[in-house]
Amino acid sequence: MSDLRDRVALVTGGGIGIGRATALALAAAGADIAITYRTHEGDGVVKAAANLGRRAFALPVDVTDAKSVNQFVDEVVARLGRLDIVVANAGGLIGRFPVETMSDAHWRAVLDTNLSSAFYLARASLRHMGKPGGRIILISSMAAFSGGGAGAAAYAAAKAGMLGLTLALAKEVAPRGITVNAIAPGLILDTPFHETFTSTEVQKATIARVPLGRPGYPSDVAGLVVYLASEEASFVTGEVVKVSGGQELT
């Protein structure tokens, strides 16, 4: 297992799903953790991390508000002493609307929740990453490549924007010894995303097209995050790694 002892990790949207699994995987690898949440409280994650002997805390944060993000990042450094690993996981579909009837408010809300939040987090975090070894990991989506399902144009656009942000950031901060990578999950079950917005029939049809014959789970993404956060991945930057079971091959 990758050794992340003496490292501090921040995960947005860490109370449930991919974010929860990621925070706990980072803690299991040795990192102290801080998470944000909105609707799913992070007390369980904090307790589980503490049981592993890690320092941990969770705070409610509106990641679409730059000032709130700045304050949270400052709080992480004040409480835990440093910041090494940043995972921009918070996001969501919010709703499904065809472009023809999509409101300006929905478009802005989806882009702010997924893309602007990642930008705010990266900007705030880079102010505290002064030494080589920093890691920034953005959780995008296979929708960035496929366009997503019905009514997901705003979501697909936001997740595609995260890929451009990943590449630009990777070039910008490489001279500082900081790596920036993105992960594009496919169908990941045991998350509120598909439980809320994807019918059982669509889930089954999607799984039937996955070459590996199964859906993904939060742990499939979390394991990759731990690798990208580790010293073993110190020469990996500007990459977008698909976690889809080969879904894009069909």
d(CA 193, CA 112): 17
The residue with tokens 């501090």 is 8
Q: What is the CA radius of gyration of the chain?
A: 17
What span, in angstroms and rounded, lies between the C-alpha atoms of 212 and 248?
Answer: 12
Selecting among 37, 155, 217, 227, the annotated active-site residue is 155
List the 8-11 sheet strands across, edge first: 56-60, 32-37, 8-11, 85-88, 135-139, 179-185, 240-243
* DSSP structure string for 226-248: HHHHSGGGTT--S-EEEESTTGG
Can 155 be counted among the known catalytic residues? yes
How many Cα atoms occupy the beta-carbon half-sphere of 147 within 13 Å? 4
Distance in angstroms (rounded) separating the CA atoms of residues 135 and 200: 36
Alpha-carbon distance 241 to 228, whole Å? 10
Q: Which long-range contacts (CB under 8 A, 24 or more apart) does 202-207 make?
A: 202/149, 206/247
CA distance 250 to 15: 33
- Calculate ∠ Cα 135-67-25, nearest 5°: 35
Could you give the residue numbers annotated as active site? Answer: 155
